[in-house]
Structures are given as C-alpha cells and as structure tokens.
Amino acid sequence: MNSKASAPGKIILFGEHFVVYGTKAILCAINKRITVSVEKTLENNILIDSSVGNLKSEPDKSLNEIDFQLRPFYFLADMMIKKYNPKFGLKIRVDSEIPLGVGLGSSSACCVAAAAAISGIFAKKSKDEILEIAIEAEKTIFPNTSGADCTVCTYGGLIKYDKKNGHSKILSKPNFHLAIANSKIKHSTKEVVSKVKQFKEKNEEKFSNLCKEESNIIEDVLICLKKNDLLEIGKNIMKNQEYLEAIGISNEKLQDMIKIANQSSFGAKITGAGGGGCIFALTDAENIQSTLKKLKEQNYDCFSAEIDYKGLDTF
C-alpha cells in the first residue's frame, strides 16, 4: 500500500517580527503545494528522495547524524517504525511547487504532508492528530516554532495568531489573488530576528509605537477581510511595509520589487523574515496579470497564487 498527502505553503499577510513581541499576525495558505509520497520497501530502511537531499539509513539513529533539512522526515518515519514495528522499510519522496527556504512555508508544508503520508501507511489519523506530530517534526529544525505555520498548512485559509492566545481560524473568505516575487537573496530568519531585537533594544519607544500601529492595522484588516475590501487591505499592506522598513529588514532589491508591484496592485510588502526572501502584492482577478508582467519585465522571478482553502489533502 502507498500513501500520499499534500499540504499548501503560506505567506504572512500581516505582523511578522512584531508577532515575536506579542502583536497579532495574519497568515494565509497559498495554492502551491508540497506532496509527499510514501511506499513500503522490503529492506528495513528509511529512504528519502527530495530536492534538498537524499538519504538511505537504518532507523533508530540520533537526529544529529541526519542532514539538517531531512530531519523532520527521518524523525516521522523513525517514530512510526518504533510505534508499529513493521517488517518493511519506508521510501519517502518529496515533490514541491513551492520555492524552498524563502519564507513561503516549505518546511511546515513538508512536515504536515510528511506527517500525514507516513502515518497513513500505518493508521488513519485526524487533522488535529496530524498537526500535533507535524509540529513535533518541525521542532527538529526550528525548536522554537509557534506552530502557526503548520496550523495554516493543515487547515488552509486564513488564521490569526498571537503568542498569548495561540491561533484561530479567520472565517471570512475574501477573494484576492497574490503576485509573489522571489528576491533570490538567501536569508536566515534567526539572524534577521536577532537584528530586530538589537533595533528594539536601541529604540524601545519607537518599537513599542510600531507595535501599537501594527495592532491597529491588523484590527482594521480583520474587518476588511469580512467585506473583501481589497482597497483598504492594500493600504494597510503598504503601511505594514513602512513599519518593516523602519525596523531595518528591507533592502534595495525588496524595495524595488515592492515599488514595481505597487504600480498596479492594491499594495505590496515583504512576507516573512525579510532581508531577502519574498514579497507579495495583493491583487484581484483583473490586476494580477499586469502586476506579474511588470515584475517579469524587470527580470524578477514571480508567480501568482490564491488562497488555499483546502489545507492538508490525503490520497
């Protein structure tokens, strides 16, 4: 028997960085997916075949011996093998429509799809159960993960998250399109987060005001999402980008992509840690193509995405 599952990537619509200091963030699943397929093998091994690396290994190894990027897959396979003690091994294959490591939720989508596909060989599990083990798997690479990314990848749609109250689903179903552009500048979330911490320590008052501003726009956006008011959401996206610039996580290339995208969309901003990675522009069915065209004319790598309302899918 084979088992297959896919999970969507995500963007952070509002609130990155400020969320670390207690404000709300809004996350949105996108219709670009990671698919994980698992089959039984005769040898009692764990095999992984992915674009970030391959592995053939016995179970029960220390995670330190496993290549960093492959740890969640190994962890999940090993966990299931220990629980069910099967007479077979597992071959795990990963296919991605999401550019990896650029803040579009590829790691969480991998963890969610792998948790579902690997456990699917042994037993049927609910989405809640899959989410729980996906977060455990994500902790093998990001020990401090809030679980918000895995949550939006599991349930799809939009979620709001803050440190105190955790995450909850946003029930509004707005109908926007996104133009996502990749700066191709590598960034380390950990380094950018620590740079923002230094900024905060030197500018306590300014930072606290920015957190308040961010909270205000997020409250406004939660109302606008109910009304599908893209014009107002776009204005807030531009304001959020200003706050991200104020804390020093933007750069010339990101700024240029945002300037181009702002010409024809409702508003554009960085998504995720910044310093590199991706930006997105909010559009509707009418201005998505013109926004992508403008970015492509300047040789930026970009693609369109919509909200994924399905979340985790198993086959």
Interaction residues for ligand PMV, span 68-127 (CB under 6 A)? 103
Segment near ligand PMV (CB under 6 A); pick from 9-17, 67-75, 117-125, 218-226: 9-17
Find the shortest distance in angstroms from Cβ 88 to ligand PMV: 35
Query: Between residues 189 and 255, which has the closer beta carbon with respect to ligand PMV?
Result: 189
Segment near ligand PMV (CB under 6 A); pick from 69-77, 114-122, 223-231, 269-277: 269-277
Query: Between residues 18 and 73, which has the closer beta carbon with respect to ligand PMV?
Result: 18
Interaction residues for ligand PMV, span 194-223 (CB under 6 A)? none
| End-to-end Cα distance, the chain | 12
Max intra-chain CA distance, the chain: 62
149 is catalytic: yes
Cβ atoms of 180 and 191 closer than 8 Å: no
At 80 the three-state DSSP class reads helix
> Can you tell me the distance from the alpha carbon of 73 to that of 79, in angstroms, rounded to the nearest whole number?
10
Cβ atoms of 240 and 266 closer than 8 Å: no
> Can you tell me the distance from the alpha carbon of 295 to that of 265, in angstroms, rounded to the nearest whole number?
11
- Determine, following the binding rule CB under 6 A, whether residue 254 of this chain makes contact with ligand PMV: no
The backbone torsions φ and ψ at residue 213, rounded to the nearest 5 degrees and listed phi first, read -60, -45
Find the shortest distance in angstroms from Cβ 176 to ligand PMV: 19
Find the shortest distance in angstroms from Cβ 139 to ligand PMV: 13
The full length of the chain comes to: 315
* Residue selected from 5, 7, 19, 224 as contacting ligand PMV according to rule CB under 6 A: 19
* Residue selected from 100, 193, 222, 238 as contacting ligand PMV according to rule CB under 6 A: 193
Q: Which residue's Cβ lies closest to ligand PMV?
A: 272
> Can you tell me the distance from the alpha carbon of 298 to that of 257, in angstroms, rounded to the nearest whole number?
9
Per rule CB under 6 A, count of chain residues that contact ligand PMV: 11
Query: Between residues 193 and 222, which has the closer beta carbon with respect to ligand PMV?
Result: 193
Find the shortest distance in angstroms from Cβ 19 to ligand PMV: 5
- Determine, following the binding rule CB under 6 A, whether residue 272 of this chain makes contact with ligand PMV: yes
Per-residue exposure over 46-73, b if at least 16 CB sit within 10 Å of its own CB, e if not: bbbebebeebebebeeeeeebeebbbbb
State the DSSP H helix or E strand holding residue 39, giving kind and residue range, or none if neither.
strand 25-41
Segment near ligand PMV (CB under 6 A); pick from 11-19, 109-117, 207-215, 257-265: 11-19
> Can you tell me the distance from the alpha carbon of 139 to that of 292, in angstroms, rounded to the nearest whole number?
35
> Can you tell me the distance from the alpha carbon of 107 to that of 101, in angstroms, rounded to the nearest whole number?
8
| Catalytic-role residue among 49, 95, 149, 284 | 149
Residues that bind ligand PMV (CB under 6 A): 12, 16-17, 19-20, 103, 189, 193, 272-273, 277
Residues marked as catalytic: 149
